[in-house]
C-alpha cells in the first residue's frame, strides 16, 4: 500500500468515525426528546395531587404502613443535625429514623449523641446484611423513634444494609444524610403502597439542589439559587433527569434508577434480593436493576413508581473538584451494573426492561460519553482533511448545543407548570441562563469526568471518593 493509499484510508476512517459519533449523539438526543414529550403528556393528562399535608394526613393517617427512614452518614458533622431534625419532623403517623454512622472520621457520632441526648442501647438486627462490625447502638432519650447505629466503615451500601437489618417496619426509606425531605414526602411516597395489592415494590421522588436555599432547624425556609455556576448547572441537570427522564421511564415501566438520595422500598423485597451490593460504587442503580431481574425471573407481577411531587433537597457538589469525584463514581457504577447484568440486554425474557431499559443504559453510559468526546476531536479533523462537509460539523455541534438547551428549557417549563419550586422570576432566569451556558465548557468537563469513571471501571478500582460538603448553614 502506497503512502497516498494509506493517507486516503486514514482520512476515510476519520470520516466514518465522525459519522458514527454524529449518529450516537443524534440517537441520544432523540431518546431525550422522546422522554421530554412523554413526560409533558403525562403531566398534561394526569390528575394533579394538589392535596395539602393536612389533607394527606386526614386521608391516609389510618392507612399508612409504618416506615423506617435509613440515613447512612459518613463525615456529615456539618449537616447531620439539620438532617436528623428534618427527618424527625416528617409528617407521618408512624416512622422511625435510623442513622448509620459508617465509621466517620469526623465527629458525626459525637454531634448526634450531644444534640439528640443519645444513650447506648442493646438493639438486635432482624437481618444482618452488612459485612462490617456493628460497634454500638444508641437510642435517643428525647426521641424514642431515633436510633443511631455506629459501625466500622464499609461505604454507603454496607451502611444502608446495616440500617435495613435494624428496621422492623414493612416499608423502608433510604436517603442521603445530607438530604432534606419536604414534610409531606413520606406520605406521598407511601401512598402508592396503600392503593395496590402488593405490586408496588419501590417508589422514587424528585431530587432538587439545596445549594443556595435557606435551611434552618432541619427545615427548608427559603428556596434560592446559588450564586456559583456549578450548583446552577446541576439544577438544570436534575430537572432534565427527574422531570423528563424519570417521569417518562416510569410511565413506560422502564424506570431503572431510584436515586440514592431518596427511595422507598418494601423491606421484604430488598432483603429477598440481598440488600445493596458492597462491590459496586453505583449501589442505587444496581439494586433497582437487580429487583427488576429478580421479579422478572420469578414471573411476579410488580411495579416500580416515580412520584414527581415527592421533593427531596440535597447538597450538590459546590465546585468542580467535588463534581469530578461524583460523576466519575456514577459512571463507574453504571458500567459495573451493566457488566453484572449484561445478559439482560436485548433479552426478551426480561420484557421491556431487557428490550428498552437496559439498551437505554448502554446508549447513555457505554456508547454515549466516548462517542461525544471523540466527536469533538474527530469532526474538526475530518473537516481539515476535507472528507467531511463543514455543514455536517455545524449540524453536529448544533445537535449537541441546541438540543441540549431545548431539553433543559423544556424541563424548566415542566418544573414551573407542575412543581413550582423556583421562588422568583429572577431565579427562573438564572436557571435558564445556566441551561444555555452549560453547553460551553461544563458539559464537556462532565464528559471528561465520565471518561475518568470509565478508566476506573477498566482498572477495577474500588476507591470511593466522598464529595466535600460545605454544610446547609452556609447554603444561603
Determine which of 179-183, 209-213, 456-460 has the lowest per-residue pLDDT on average: 179-183
Q: Region 446-461: what's the mean pLDDT?
A: 94
DSSP annotation of 462 = -
Task: Judge contact between 71 and 96, C-beta under 8 A.
Answer: no
Q: Who's near 309: CB < 8 A, 6+ residues apart?
A: 49, 188, 205, 206, 419
For residue 50, count CB atoms less than 10 angstroms from its CB and return exposed for 0-12, middle for 13-18, buried for 19 or more. Answer: exposed
Taking CB atoms within 8 Å and a gap of at least 24, the contacts of 105-111 are 105/75, 106/75, 106/76, 106/77, 107/77, 108/73, 108/74, 108/75, 108/76, 108/77, 108/80, 109/148, 109/150, 110/77, 111/77, 111/80, 111/81
User: Can you spell out the DSSP letters for 19-61?
Assistant: HHHHHHHHHHHHHHHHHHHHHHHHHHHSPP----HHHHHHHHT
Taking the C-alpha atoms of residue 333 and residue 349, their distance in angstroms, rounded to an integer, is: 24
Distance (Å) of CA 40 to CA 45, 330, 417, 420? 9, 27, 10, 15
The C-alpha cell 416499608 sits at 171
Bridging pattern class, strands 179-181 and 303-314: antiparallel
Return the HEC string of 386-406: CCCCHHHHHHHHHHHHHHHHH
More confident residue, 295 or 182: 295
Report the 10 Å Cβ neighbour count for 122: 7
Question: Cell digits for 139?
Answer: 437510642
Report the 10 Å Cβ neighbour count for 310: 25
For the stretch 69-107, pLDDT in tens is 999 999 888 878 888 988 998 888 899 999 999 999 999
Distance (Å) of CA 462 to CA 102, 154, 321, 361, 448? 17, 12, 19, 22, 19
pLDDT grade for 160, boundaries at 50, 70 and 90 = very high
Taking the C-alpha atoms of residue 280 and residue 299, their distance in angstroms, rounded to an integer, is: 27
Question: Cell digits for 148?
Answer: 443511631
For the stretch 320-332, pLDDT in tens is 999 999 999 999 9
| E strand or H helix at 124 | none
Taking the C-alpha atoms of residue 98 and residue 132, their distance in angstroms, rounded to an integer, is: 17
For the stretch 394-410, pLDDT in tens is 877 777 788 888 899 99
Average pLDDT, the chain: 89
For the stretch 165-204, pLDDT in tens is 999 999 999 998 778 888 888 989 998 998 777 899 999 9
Q: Who's near 389: CB < 8 A, 6+ residues apart?
A: none
More confident residue, 443 or 11: 443
Q: Who's near 398: CB < 8 A, 6+ residues apart?
A: none
Taking the C-alpha atoms of residue 438 and residue 232, their distance in angstroms, rounded to an integer, is: 9
Question: Cell digits for 314?
Answer: 440535597
Sheet strands side by side (includes 146-151): 118-121, 134-140, 146-151, 95-102, 67-73, 171-175, 262-266, 200-209, 303-314, 179-181
pLDDT at 402: 83
1 has a pLDDT exceeding 80: no
Question: What does residue 391 show for φ and ψ, rounded to 5 degrees?
Answer: -65, -30
pLDDT at 366: 93
| E strand or H helix at 410 | helix 404-418
Task: Judge contact between 447 and 373, C-beta under 8 A.
Answer: yes
Distance (Å) of CA 126 to CA 161, 268, 275? 11, 11, 13
More confident residue, 334 or 420: 334
56 has a pLDDT exceeding 80: no
| E strand or H helix at 114 | helix 108-115
Q: What share of the chain is helix, strand, coil (3-state, %, to 5)?
A: 55, 15, 30
Return the HEC string of 277-328: CCCCCCHHHHHHHHHHHHHHHCCCCCEEEEEEEEEEEECCCCCHHHHHHHHH
pTM of the prediction? 0.92
Cα-only R_g, the chain = 23
More confident residue, 39 or 57: 39
Q: Region 349-356: what's the mean pLDDT?
A: 97
24 has a pLDDT exceeding 70: yes
pLDDT grade for 474, boundaries at 50, 70 and 90 = very low
Q: Region 204-220: what's the mean pLDDT?
A: 88
| E strand or H helix at 99 | strand 95-102
Taking the C-alpha atoms of residue 139 and residue 77, their distance in angstroms, rounded to an integer, is: 18
Q: Which residues pair with 219 in a beta bridge?
A: 216
Q: Region 234-244: what's the mean pLDDT?
A: 95
Distance (Å) of CA 323 to CA 198, 329, 335, 446, 473? 38, 10, 18, 8, 20
Amino acid at each position: 500500500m502506497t503512502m497516498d493509499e494509506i493517507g486516503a484510508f486514514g482520512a476515510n476512517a476519520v470520516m466514518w468515525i465522525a459519522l458514527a459519533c454524529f449518529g450516537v449523539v443524534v440517537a441520544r438526543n432523540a431518546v431525550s426528546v422522546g422522554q421530554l414529550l412523554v413526560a409533558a403528556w403525562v403531566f398534561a393528562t394526569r390528575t394533579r395531587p394538589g392535596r395539602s399535608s393536612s389533607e394527606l394526613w386526614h386521608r391516609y393517617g389510618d392507612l399508612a404502613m409504618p416506615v423506617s427512614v435509613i440515613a447512612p452518614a459518613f463525615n456529615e458533622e456539618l449537616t447531620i443535625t439539620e438532617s436528623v431534625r428534618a427527618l424527625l419532623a416528617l409528617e407521618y403517623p408512624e416512622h422511625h429514623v435510623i442513622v448509620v454512622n459508617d465509621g466517620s472520621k469526623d465527629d458525626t457520632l459525637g454531634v448526634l449523641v450531644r444534640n439528640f441526648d443519645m444513650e447506648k442501647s442493646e438493639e438486635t438486627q432482624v437481618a444482618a446484611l452488612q459485612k462490617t462490625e456493628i460497634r454500638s447502638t444508641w437510642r435517643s432519650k428525647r426521641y424514642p423513634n431515633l436510633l443511631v447505629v455506629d459501625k466500622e466503615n464499609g461505604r454507603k451500601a454496607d451502611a444502608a444494609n446495616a440500617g435495613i437489618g435494624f428496621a422492623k417496619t414493612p416499608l423502608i426509606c433510604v436517603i442521603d444524610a445530607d438530604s432534606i425531605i419536604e414534610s409531606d414526602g413520606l406520605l406521598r411516597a407511601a401512598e402508592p403502597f396503600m392503593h395496590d395489592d402488593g405490586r408496588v415494590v419501590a417508589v422514587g421522588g424528585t431530587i432538587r439542589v439545596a445549594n443556595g436555599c435557606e435551611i434552618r432547624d432541619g427545615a427548608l425556609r427559603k428556596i434560592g439559587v446559588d450564586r456559583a455556576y456549578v450548583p446552577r448547572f446541576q439544577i438544570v441537570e436534575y430537572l432534565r433527569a427527574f422531570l423528563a427522564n424519570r417521569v417518562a421511564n416510569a410511565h413506560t415501566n422502564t424506570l431503572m434508577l431510584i436515586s440514592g438520595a431518596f427511595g422507598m422500598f418494601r423491606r421484604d423485597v430488598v432483603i429477598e434480593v440481598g440488600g445493596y451490593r458492597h462491590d459496586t460504587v453505583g449501589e442505587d442503580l444496581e439494586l433497582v436493576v437487580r429487583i427488576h431481574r429478580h421479579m422478572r425471573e420469578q414471573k411476579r407481577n410488580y411495579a416500580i413508581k416515580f412520584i414527581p411531587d415527592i421533593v427531596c433537597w440535597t447538597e450538590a457538589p459546590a465546585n468542580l473538584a467535588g463534581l469530578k469525584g461524583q460523576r466519575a463514581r456514577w459512571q463507574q457504577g453504571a458500567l459495573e451494573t451493566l457488566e453484572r447484568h449484561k445478559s439482560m440486554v436485548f433479552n426478551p425474557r426480561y420484557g421491556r426492561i431487557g428490550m428498552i431499559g437496559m439498551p437505554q443504559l448502554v446508549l447513555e453510559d457505554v456508547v454515549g460519553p466516548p462517542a461525544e468526546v471523540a466527536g469533538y476531536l474527530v469532526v474538526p479533523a475530518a473537516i481539515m482533511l476535507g472528507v467531511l462537509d463543514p455543514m455536517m460539523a455545524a449540524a453536529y455541534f448544533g445537535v449537541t448545543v441546541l438540543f441540549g438547551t431545548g431539553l433543559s428549557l423544556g424541563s424548566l417549563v415542566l418544573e414551573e407548570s407542575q412543581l413550582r419550586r423556583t421562588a422568583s422570576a429572577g431565579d427562573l432566569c438564572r436557571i435558564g441562563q445556566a441551561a444555555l451556558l452549560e453547553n460551553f465548557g461544563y458539559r464537556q468537563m462532565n464528559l471528561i469526568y465520565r471518561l475518568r469513571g470509565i478508566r476506573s471501571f477498566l482498572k477495577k478500582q474500588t476507591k470511593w471518593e466522598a464529595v466535600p460538603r460545605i454544610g446547609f448553614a452556609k447554603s444561603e
